[in-house]
Amino acid sequence: MSAEPARACVPWAAADMLGKLTWNAIPFDQPIPLAAGSLVFLVLIAVIAWVIIRGHLPYLWHEWITSVDHKRIGVMYTILGLVMLLRGFVDAIMMRSQQAFAFHAGGYLPPEHYDQVFSAHGTIMIFFAAMPLMIGLMNFAVPLQLGVRDVAFPTFNSTSFWLTATGALLVNLSLVVGEFSRAMWLPYPPLSELRYSPGVGVDYYLWALQISGVGTLLTGINFVTTILKIRAPGMSYLRMPIFCWTALATNLLIIAAFPVLTATLGMLLLDRYVGFHFFTNSAGGNMMMFVNLIWAWGHPEVYILVLPAFGIFSEVISTFSGKPLFGYRSMVAATMFICLVSFLVWLHHFFTMGAGGNVNAVFGIATAIIAVGTGVKIYNWMFTMYGGRIRFTTPMLWALAFVLTFTLGGMTGVLLSVPPADFQLHNSMFLVAHFHNVIIAGVLFGAFAGITYWFPKAFGFRLHEGWGKAAVVLTVAGFYTTFVPLYALGLLGMTRRLQSYDVAAWRPWVIAAGAGIIVFCGALACQVMQLVASIRQRESLRDLTGDPWNGRSLEWSTASPPPAFNYAVLPNVEGEEPYWQIKRRAIETQQLAAEPDYKPIEMPRNSPTGFITAFFCTVTGFALIWHIWWMVGLGLLGAYVVFVWFAWRDRDEEVIPAEEVARVDRARRRVRAQWLAHNAREEWLAVHGQRETA
Amino acid sequence: MGKSPAEARDGASSGSFLRASRCAGVLLLCVVSLAGCAKGILQPEGPVGGADSKILLDAVGIMSAIVVPTIVALVVIAWWFRASNTRARYQPDFVYSGRLEIIVWAIPILVIMFLGGLTWIGAHELDPYVPIQSSAKDPPLDVQVISLDWKWLFIYPQQRVASVNELVIPARTPVHFYLTSASVMNQFFVPQLGSMIATMNGMQTQLFLQADHRGDYYGVSAQFSGDGFSGMHFIVHAVAPADFQHWVAATRQNGPVLDRNGYFDLLRDSCDVRPFTYRSADPSLFAAVVRRQLPPSSGPSVGRAGPGVRAVGCG
Is residue A495 less than 8 Å (CB to CB) from chain B?
yes
Report which residue type is found at A614: A
Nearest CA in chain A to B194: A424
User: What whole-number distance in Å separates Cα of residue A403 and Cα of residue A445?
Assistant: 10
Whether A270 is in a domain gets the answer no
* Mean pLDDT, 10 residues at a time, chain A of 694 residues: 41 64 80 83 92 93 95 97 96 95 90 93 97 97 96 95 96 90 94 91 96 96 96 95 97 97 97 94 90 96 96 97 95 95 94 93 94 93 96 97 95 94 96 96 97 97 96 97 96 95 94 95 96 96 92 94 94 90 86 89 93 96 95 95 88 91 94 84 65 46
Whether A465 is in a domain gets the answer yes
DSSP code for B154: E
User: What whole-number distance in Å separates Cα of residue B229 and Cα of residue B224?
Assistant: 6
CATH of the domain at B15: 1.10.287.90
pLDDT for position A347: 95
pLDDT interval class at B304 (50, 70, 90): very low
DSSP code for A440: I
Q: Are residues B156 and B69 both part of a single domain? A: no
Quote the distance between the C-alpha of residue B94 and its chain's center.
Answer: 49
Whether A573 is in a domain gets the answer no
B292/A282 Cβ within 8 A: yes
User: In sequence order, what are the beta bridge partners of B161?
Assistant: B156
Q: Are residues B101 and B156 both part of a single domain? A: no
Q: Are residues B284 and B245 both part of a single domain? A: yes
Report which residue type is found at A228: L
pLDDT, tens digit, 9 for 90 and up, residues B58-71: 999 999 999 999 99
Residue-by-residue DSSP string for A594-655: PPP----EEEEPP-SHHHHHHHHHHHHHHHHHTT-HHHHHHHHHHHHHHHHHHHT-S--EEE
A356/B127 Cβ within 8 A: yes
Is residue A550 less than 8 Å (CB to CB) from chain B?
no
**Which residue, A673, A494, A489, A191, is CA-closest to B147?**
A191
Residue B186 Cα, gap to closest chain A Cα (Å): 10
Residue A306 Cα, gap to closest chain B Cα (Å): 19
Whether B241 is in a domain gets the answer yes
Letter string b/e over residues A604-636, b meaning 16 or more CB atoms within 10 A of that residue's CB:
bebbbbbbbbbbbbbbbbbbbbbbbeebbeebb
User: What whole-number distance in Å separates Cα of residue A146 and Cα of residue A578?
Assistant: 10
10 Å Cβ neighbour count for A525? Answer: 14
10 Å Cβ neighbour count for A324? Answer: 19
pLDDT for position B19: 60
Is the Cα torsion angle B206, B207, B208, B212 positive or negative in sign?
Answer: negative
Residue-by-residue DSSP string for A66-102: T---HHHHHHHHHHHHHHHHHHHHHHHHHHHHHHHH-
Whether A662 is in a domain gets the answer no
Query: Are A421 and B49 within 8 A, CB to CB?
Result: no
Catalytic sites of A, residue numbers = 77, 87, 91, 95, 118, 139, 150, 157, 160, 164, 216, 219, 226, 299, 301, 303, 314, 330, 374, 377, 434-436
Nearest CA in chain B to A481: B32
Query: Are A493 and B39 within 8 A, CB to CB?
Result: yes
Q: What are the residues whose beta carbons fall under 8 Å from the beta carbon of A649, sequence distance 6 or more?
A: A607
Q: Which domain holds residue B29?
A: 5-125
**For chain B, what is the domain count?**
2
Q: Are residues B171 and B97 both part of a single domain? A: no
B220/A505 Cβ within 8 A: no
pLDDT interval class at B305 (50, 70, 90): very low
User: What whole-number distance in Å separates Cα of residue A185 and Cα of residue A201?
Assistant: 12
Whether A492 is in a domain gets the answer yes
Report which residue type is found at A551: G
Is the Cα torsion angle B202, B204, B205, B211 positive or negative in sign?
Answer: positive
- At residue B303, φ and ψ (nearest 5 deg) are 85, -5
Q: Which domain holds residue A426?
A: 407-541
pLDDT for position A591: 83
Q: What are the residues whose beta carbons fall under 8 Å from the beta carbon of A475, sequence distance 6 or more?
A: A401, A445, A448, A520, A523
A304-318, A582-596, B171-185, B223-237: segment of lowest average pLDDT: A582-596
Whether A135 is in a domain gets the answer no
**Which residue, A443, A306, A462, is CA-closest to A394?**
A462
pLDDT for position A686: 67
Whether B136 is in a domain gets the answer no
Query: Are B131 and B176 within 8 A, CB to CB?
Result: yes
DSSP code for A107: -
**Which own/partner pairs from A617-622 qualify as long-range (CB within 8 Å, at least 24 positions apart)?**
A617/A163, A617/A166, A617/A211, A618/A166, A618/A169, A618/A170, A618/A211, A620/A211, A621/A166, A621/A170, A621/A207, A621/A208, A621/A210, A621/A211, A622/A170, A622/A173
Q: Are residues B117 and B170 both part of a single domain? A: no
Nearest CA in chain B to A404: B71
Whether A185 is in a domain gets the answer no
Q: Are residues B76 and B176 both part of a single domain? A: no
Residue B97 Cα, gap to closest chain A Cα (Å): 8
Is residue A486 less than 8 Å (CB to CB) from chain B?
no
**Which ranges of A110-192 does DSSP label H, i.e. alpha helix?**
111-123, 131-146, 154-173
Whether A437 is in a domain gets the answer yes
Whether B311 is in a domain gets the answer no
Q: What is the helix, strand, coil percentage profile of chain B, to 5?
A: 40, 20, 40
State the Cα angle at A640 between A634 and A643, rounded to 5°: 145
User: In sequence order, what are the beta bridge partners of B180?
Assistant: B146
Q: Are residues B157 and B283 both part of a single domain? A: yes
Instruction: Count contacts between A and B (CB, < 8 Å).
Output: 356
**For chain A, what is the domain count?**
1
Q: Are residues B248 and B111 both part of a single domain? A: no
Q: Are residues B162 and B121 both part of a single domain? A: no
User: What whole-number distance in Å separates Cα of residue A566 and Cα of residue B129?
Assistant: 62
CATH of the domain at B182: 2.60.40.420
Whether B306 is in a domain gets the answer no
Q: Are residues B280 and B154 both part of a single domain? A: yes
Q: Are residues B29 and B158 both part of a single domain? A: no
Q: Give A195's contacts in chain B (Cβ within 8 Å).
A: 296, 298-299
**Which residue, A335, A322, A383, A580, is CA-closest to B97?**
A383
Q: Whole-model pTM?
A: 0.92
DSSP code for B229: G
Q: Are residues B244 and B119 both part of a single domain? A: no
